Amino acid sequence: MVLNTLLQCPDCKRLLPFTSDKTTITVCNACGTIVWRQNDGSVIVKPQFLLQDKNDIIQPGTTGSWNGKTFTVLGRFRAWFEEFIFNYWTIQFNDNEIAWLAEGYGIYSILEPIPLPDNVSSRSLQSLTPGHQTQLQPDKMFTVREKETAVKWEIEGELFVPDPESSFLLLDLQSDDGQHICIFEWGKSNITAYKTDYVTFSSLSLQHLKEHRYSDRSFMCKQCSHPVKVKTFPYAQSCACAECGACYSMEDGGQFYKDDKKPVKHSIHLALYSAGIINSISYEVVGYARKEEINEYHSQWTEYTLFNPSEGFAFLSEYEGNWIYVREEMNSPIISNQNIKEFEFDKEPFHLFNSYKHK
C-alpha cells in the first residue's frame, strides 16, 4: 500500500490522520464519515455502520503488551453474528506491525495474519461444518469449532479490514495439540487466515481503559408497558421484563421481540443486580433463568447470569443448595463425538459426571 498518512475527508475536506500504513479504514473526527484507503493511497466513502453503543472499557488509545511487545489500540469493527457479537480491535505494536485483539464476553485473543493454506478456497470453506476436519498445516489436522456469518458490522476509529463484498464468513479451527487458526472469507477471492492465541485480560496489562458504564438501551414491555432495561446490550441476546416476566429475544440486528418462553415463577436466592465476588472477580447479577431437564424426572435448577466489565460473563447454577460456577474456556479439548467420556485438560484427567438437555 502507498504510504500517505495525511489525506482529506471526501465529505468535509478535513485531514484524516492515518497512524499506520497498513490500516484501511478511519472515521473522520470532524464529520463522522467512514473513509476507506485504497491500495494506491486514494480514499473513497463506502456505506457502513458507524458504531454507536460504546459501553466497552477498551477504546482507541488503550495500550497493552503481549509476547514481549507493547501495542496501542487504533480502532475496531464490531461484528454481529446470529448468536453472538464480537469486537476485533486493530492494534499496532511498537515495531509498527499490526494484529487484531478479538474480544467479547470476557474472551480475549490475539489474531496475527499468516499465509493462507494452499488447500483453502471459497469452495472448500463452504463444505466445512462444525466438527469436520481439514489439513491446514503439514501433517496436522484442524477441527472446525465454529462457522458463522456476520450479518452486520460497525466501525470505530482507525482499523485494518480487507475490503469485503458485504458480510463475511468466519471459521474458528483448532488442532488436537491446541493450536487455533481463524479464517475470514470476505469474498470468493478474498480470504485471510490468522494465527489465534487466546489470552487472559490480566496478561495484556491494558492501560488507558475507559470507565465502564452499562448500556442505556431499553424498550417498553409489550405485555405490561413497563420499561425493560438491557444493561449489557448489545451482547445480551435475550432479556425479560422485571415487572411481569415476559421474555424477549434479540433479532434483526438489535431489535427485541417477545418470545414464547414462560416467565420464571420460582423464588431466587440472588436478587437481580446484587453484587458479589467469586475467585477475586467482582460480579453483578444481571439476569437469571429457570431451566428444566428433558427426561422423566423434569429436574429444575436456577442459572444466574453474572457480569464483570473486564472478565465478561459467567454463570452460577444452583440446584437444591448445590452451586456450580461456570466460565467459558476457549483452550478446551476437542470433543469429536458423543462417545468420548473422558479427556485430559491442563494435565488433569476429567471423566464424564453427568449429561443432560434442558428446555
pLDDT tens for each residue of 211-242: 999 999 999 999 999 999 999 999 998 999 98
Q: Which of 175, 204, 233 is the last residue of a domain?
A: 204
SS3 123: helix
User: Among 32-36, 183-187, 350-354, whose mean pLDDT is lowest?
Assistant: 350-354
Q: How confident is the model at residue 83 (pLDDT cuts 50, 70, 90)?
A: confident
User: Among 20-34, 95-109, 153-167, 330-344, whose mean pLDDT is lowest?
Assistant: 330-344
pLDDT of residue 130: 93
User: Among 127-136, 190-199, 285-294, whose mean pLDDT is lowest?
Assistant: 285-294
**Total domain count for the chain?**
3
Burial class of 59 by CB neighbour count within 10 A (0 to 12, 13 to 18, 19+):
middle
Q: With contact defined as beta carbons under 8 Å apart, do 332 and 174 qualify?
A: no
Same domain for 56 and 192? yes
Residue 84 has pLDDT above 90, yes or no: yes
Same domain for 299 and 234? no
User: Among 28-32, 137-141, 263-267, whose mean pLDDT is lowest?
Assistant: 263-267
pTM of the model: 0.92
Tell me the pLDDT of the chain averaged across its residues: 91
Same domain for 83 and 127? yes
Same domain for 289 and 328? yes
> Alpha helix locations (H) across 149-293?
none
Bridge-based pairing state of the strands 49-50 and 152-157: parallel
Q: With contact defined as beta carbons under 8 Å apart, do 149 and 168 qualify?
A: yes
Same domain for 167 and 109? yes
Q: Report residue 150: phi and psi, to 5°.
A: -75, 125
Q: How confident is the model at residue 1 (pLDDT cuts 50, 70, 90)?
A: very low
User: What's the length of the chain?
Assistant: 359
**What sign does the dihedral 228-229-235-239 (CA atoms) show?**
negative
Domain holding 225, by residue range, is 214-263
Q: What's the rounded mean pLDDT across residues 137-156?
A: 93
**Assigned domain for 39 exists:** no
Cβ atoms within 10 Å of 285's Cβ, excluding its own? 18
Q: What's the rounded mean pLDDT across residues 294-312?
A: 90
pLDDT of residue 23: 95
Q: How confident is the model at residue 264 (pLDDT cuts 50, 70, 90)?
A: low
The residues pairing with 258 across neighbouring beta strands, listed in sequence order, are 248
Same domain for 117 and 229? no
Tabulate helix, strand, coil % of the chain (nearest 5): 5, 50, 50
Q: What's the rounded mean pLDDT across residues 330-352?
A: 84
Q: With contact defined as beta carbons under 8 Å apart, do 238 and 250 qualify?
A: yes
What gap in Å lies between CA 263 and CA 244, rounded to an integer? 8
> Which carries the bigger pLDDT value, residue 97 or residue 46?
97
350, containing H or E segment: strand 348-351
Q: What's the rounded mean pLDDT across residues 93-106?
A: 97
Q: With contact defined as beta carbons under 8 Å apart, do 72 and 97 qualify?
A: no
Bridge-based pairing state of the strands 63-66 and 49-50: unpaired
